[in-house]
Amino acid sequence: MSNEDRKWKGLTFWLMVVLLVTTILLLGTVTAVQAAEVTEVKRYAPAGPAPGAEFEVTLRITGELPLVAGIVETIPEGFEFRSTTHPSNNYSVSGQKVAFAVIDKKEIKYTVMAPPSGEGTFSGTWVDMLSENEGSIADTIVMVGGGGAGAIEAPAVTPTPTPFVPAVTKASRSIPMMEAGKEVAMVFKDMDVSMIGLKADKDVSNVEFKVERVERTPDIPAPAGIPYVYLDIKVENAGGAKVEGKIEFKVGKSWIAANNIDEATVKLNRYDRGEWKALPTSRTGEDNATVYFSAETLGFSMFAVTGERKVVVETAVTPTPAVTPTPAATPEITPSPTAPSKVPGFGAILAVISLLIVYAMVFRKKGRGGGKEE
């Protein structure tokens, strides 16, 4: 057994012990844990860190409390793990792999140092110890030294009440390899889009991806609603593969306020086959200057972000009728519901299941590859 194998098995054993003990303790005080469930883990990282600079990676967990999960992150070769804000007894490092025991937390931050040049792909897996759910974290491609070929930066401007204009209006990415059905995430800084996830229906290599803020040309009709921005998003050299994705974008609060936009009506629309089609869009968050949204698309072409003005409903004022006092009725006392009882023996059973889940998560791919490390 190699040194690397010993380190990895030690890391796995540590993660199993931490999560096993935590699960047993948690089940001693919580009932109906079947309702708790992790549904997704997303990774956020800068698109183009400076050579040799430290940068922050954020993992965001979608799920309900109580929450007990294990996450294993794989950092690309050449990049170095430096630190994390996660509790010191709840993470462990072995080579390029970092294992986190997640206990009632929905966000993990860790710091990585970039190499002098090149690019790398961050990958990861997760397992929910309470619901038995498990999954992969979409790969994140990081390019050292900038936002990718073709990135154009505009000079800084003083903020005004006019619509938000991003510092970067054009960017491109080269994706060395896309495995069928596996999502690849690309992060964009200072653009209308903050992240785009791609998924192909078959293996493809050397895919070119381009995104650019554009103006609508006269031959394209205007979409319904008030337009905020037009984006031209292209996938090239896909080898005939069908590529779909998720687009996370942001809208300036100044534009929303200036146009009296109802946030619930903000949509991402795709121009396809001569017409605009509204895509399923949801609000995901906000900061001081912008509101964030996410939409899913089955293809890529020209897109438009639009919104509708708030509807003002006038209501007629009707006189308030006189109220005749009535004798107060004696309230009936309803007995308080009995608290749900804990399931006897459930903690011990789930503890054993938890141990098997983590073991399967870490060693499944290893076993398939004949003992070779991923």
CATH, range 3-143+343-368: 2.60.40.10
CATH, range 170-309: 2.60.220
Amino acid (1-letter code) at residue 209: F
Closest CA to 178 of 245, 133, 233, 112: 245
Q: What is the pLDDT of residue 118?
A: 84
Tokens of 346: 């459930």
Q: What is the pLDDT of residue 329?
A: 56
Burial class from Cβ neighbours inside 10 Å (0-12, 13-18, 19+) for residue 219 reads: exposed
Distance CA 184, CA 161 (A): 36
- Chain position carrying tokens 């401007």: 157
Q: What is the pLDDT along the chain (374 residues), one digit of tens a residue?
A: 555 555 555 555 555 555 555 555 554 444 444 545 788 898 888 777 888 888 889 998 888 777 888 999 999 999 999 999 999 889 999 999 999 999 888 899 999 999 988 888 899 999 988 877 888 898 888 888 754 332 323 333 333 334 456 667 888 888 888 999 988 888 888 889 988 999 999 999 999 999 999 999 999 999 999 999 999 999 999 988 999 999 999 999 999 999 999 999 999 999 999 999 999 999 998 889 999 999 999 999 999 999 999 987 666 666 666 666 665 555 555 555 544 444 444 444 444 454 455 555 555 545 544 444 44
Distance CA 198, CA 52 (A): 28
User: Alpha helices, DSSP H only, in 190-325?
Assistant: 253-258
Amino acid (1-letter code) at residue 154: A
Distance CA 199, CA 119 (A): 20
Q: What is the pLDDT of residue 339?
A: 44
Q: What is the pLDDT of residue 326?
A: 61
With vertex at residue 86, the alpha carbon angle to CA 12 and CA 137, rounded to the nearest 5 degrees, is: 60
pTM for the model stands at 0.57
Tokens of 92: 């462990």
Distance CA 220, CA 261 (A): 24
The residue ranges of every structural domain in the chain are 3-143+343-368, 170-309
Q: What is the pLDDT of residue 299?
A: 94
Backbone angles phi, psi at 363, to 5 degrees: -100, -5
Give a three-class secondary structure readout of 35-104: HCCEEEEEEECCCCCCCCCEEEEEEEEEECCCCEEEEEEECCCCCEEEEECCCHHHEEEECCEEEEEEEC
Contacts of 123 (CB under 8 A, 6+ apart): 73, 74, 136, 137, 139, 140
Backbone angles phi, psi at 356, to 5 degrees: -70, -35
**DSSP-based three-state secondary structure for 10:** helix
**DSSP-based three-state secondary structure for 233:** strand
HSE of 260 in the Cβ direction (CA atoms, 13 Å)? 4
Distance CA 90, CA 102 (A): 7
Q: What is the CA radius of gyration of the chain?
A: 25
Q: Which residues pair with 58 in a beta bridge?
A: 44, 109
